[in-house]
Structure 1
């Protein structure tokens, strides 16, 4: 929509308050602030929701893979054959054998339930989720036969364990005696403490070399599962379908959606609902733009009639008032985006300030699963929010613009 010089001048004049028009200006300012708050709320909330999903996906999938092949009874005897087939499957990036077993851990008289995980030494070294989140010790200490393990930070706090201390793992799969099965208790040195930022993992994981896990659980050369990473997590079901069909009855193949379906489905539903609800703020703001323009058209009825008699066309009047409405919405949208980006930049600091002022822990990791407030802004969502603000403003501005364009100068000036 290209404006001529005189149309730009008139639009600029009507945007600024004139004598006796301050009430209209106040209403228009409120509309601008409302648009700003609506855009700000939408961008911040959607970015945080995206951050939750991305953080959960990165950390959960980083520890569990895009899919797993699990053996019945917790054992996968033919794991080497399955590994060969997986590595030859198109779309599979890597396959990692694992052992996972719920056990009990004891340290200085304290006992906690843990999840022992055995991994090959090379896989431990290459796992970015663990290695990039070491807070004490060194993962290189985890070698077969060394008797060293790595534990989560929350588990270390619960047990009072420190690097260099001894932790005892208690397995119910012990040796049989005339009086029943005696639990197997093996002591290990704490070689490293990690904090991946997911409470369930940090409070329970005990990581050890594969050979040590096999010895502890008396699994010989078998493993419990194989973790699979693919080129496309969203298409993982189709990629692993041949493996699932090939080993049906001997192993169960589960992808990340099935393992975490309730959590990710709930996040997706909440994300859509929040977008719809917060969009109403923008719609209400646009109603304010509509009302302020209607009042402006009524206040400027005489001016419009004079402009029409001087040769201004209906099209010019439409363009002028559409420009006023869209400019108000655009200014509010830009201000909302700037405020949203500042809020997202300093979000964690804001949470800490509120916690300090209220004396309440607003981000208890045992409740919220992730230890910090995440955020990830999607440019396409931002464009959609901008489109919603500008598109609704355009639609709602059409009526007052049409009323201004349809003003009959003869009727208006008849009694002037």
Structure 2
């Protein structure tokens, strides 16, 4: 829709009403602000939801792999053969043996539930970029050194160099019953993954030390598998799954975290629908402001018609006015949304400081910081939705203006 210089001049004049039309200008300004806030809210919320899902996926999958192979009895005896087959499977980028067992840890009278993880040296070194204190190189088989999560270290009050006691209820049998196995381990490193549940529970040690602690011999608990594409992991491992029938099961990351990611997906759709209503309300504001403008300019419209202005020109003028309001609101809303996302963490801290409330409790939100990841396709969809709705809102007032009969309006002038 291209406006002629005459049409554009009239449109600009009507977008800046005179003194007696301040109320119309105020309604138009409210319409612009409403579109801006609606678009900004959609951009912020959808980006945070995408970031939340992406960060969870990166951290969970990055630590646990795309799938795990676990024996039905809990102990994988012939894991070396399975590991060799995995390494030859096309699409598999990494396969690592793993031991994982919930136990208890104590230090200075404090007792916490933990999750002991026995990893290979290569997998332990993958935590190097998450290291907060200590040295991962000290975690050698037989050294009785461990690395613990930062939140667990805070809960126990332990630091690098302290010795924590890990309690295994499956201890040795005596005439008086089973005596829990208690082994002291030196804290050689403290790491922070960024997922609260992991940082609050994980105790990492070499696989041989975990086998000794759990009295499992040479067996392991499971094998972690990472593939080139996490979404097609079950297809990649399909041939191996048939070979392991009756001995072990393969579980992918979608199944392990199904409830979490399904809840995020439902919440994401619900938030988009609810926040879209804000944009819809803003569009109704544009509609009402244009109707008021048409009524206020009825005499002017009639005069323009008598001077030769066509119905098409009047239609384009009022459509342009409403569309410009919607477009400006959309552009400013996008800018406001991106600014908020860029400074999101300082804004959260400021609100917490002003209200005295903890808005981002890691024990509830899983992640230690407010995440954000903008999807260009979603941003385009949000902008197009706001522009299309703004355009549709101009149709009725523009048609009303174009259908004005100058004879009826100017009859008594």
Alignment of 1:378-397 (within 5 A): 378-397=375-394
What runs of 5+ residues in structure 1 fail to find an aligned partner?
none
- Cα deviation, residue 311, structure 1: 2.5
CA offsets per residue over residues 92-131 of structure 1, 9 Å max, x none? Answer: 2211110001111122232211110011101221x2xx22
Specify the SS of the correspondent of 1:135.
Answer: strand
- State the alpha-carbon separation in 2 of the partners of residues 355 and 300 from structure 1: 49
Q: What is the TM-score of this pair, normalised by structure 2?
A: 0.96
Partner of 1:410: 407
Compare 214-223 and 275-284 and name the one that shifted more. Answer: 214-223
- State the alpha-carbon separation in 2 of the partners of residues 242 and 408 from structure 1: 77
Compare 37-46 and 89-98 and name the one that shifted more. Answer: 89-98
- State the alpha-carbon separation in 2 of the partners of residues 173 and 272 from structure 1: 46
**When the two structures are aligned, how many residues end up with a matched partner?**
413
Specify the SS of the correspondent of 1:183.
Answer: strand
Partner of 1:369: 366
- Cα deviation, residue 413, structure 1: 2.4
What runs of 5+ residues in structure 2 fail to find an aligned partner?
none
Partner of 1:71: 71
Specify the SS of the correspondent of 2:20.
Answer: coil
Partner of 1:297: 294
- State the alpha-carbon separation in 1 of the partners of residues 355 and 285 from structure 2: 35
Q: 1:327 aligns with which of 318, 324, 329?
A: 324
- Cα deviation, residue 67, structure 1: 0.9
- Cα deviation, residue 220, structure 1: 2.1
Alignment of 1:166-245 (within 5 A): 166-245=163-242
Alignment of 1:260-299 (within 5 A): 260-299=257-296
- State the alpha-carbon separation in 1 of the partners of residues 294 and 228 from structure 2: 58
Partner of 2:4: 4
- Cα deviation, residue 176, structure 1: 2.8
- State the alpha-carbon separation in 1 of the partners of residues 297 and 363 from structure 2: 61
Partner of 2:16: 16
Q: 2:305 aligns with which of 296, 303, 308?
A: 308
Is residue 45 of structure 1 aligned with residue 42 of structure 2? no
Q: 2:356 aligns with which of 356, 359, 366?
A: 359
- Cα deviation, residue 280, structure 1: 0.5
Specify the SS of the correspondent of 1:82.
Answer: helix
- State the alpha-carbon separation in 2 of the partners of residues 228 and 314 from structure 1: 68
Is residue 152 of structure 1 aligned with residue 149 of structure 2? yes
- State the alpha-carbon separation in 2 of the partners of residues 78 and 211 from structure 1: 16
Q: 2:397 aligns with which of 382, 386, 400?
A: 400
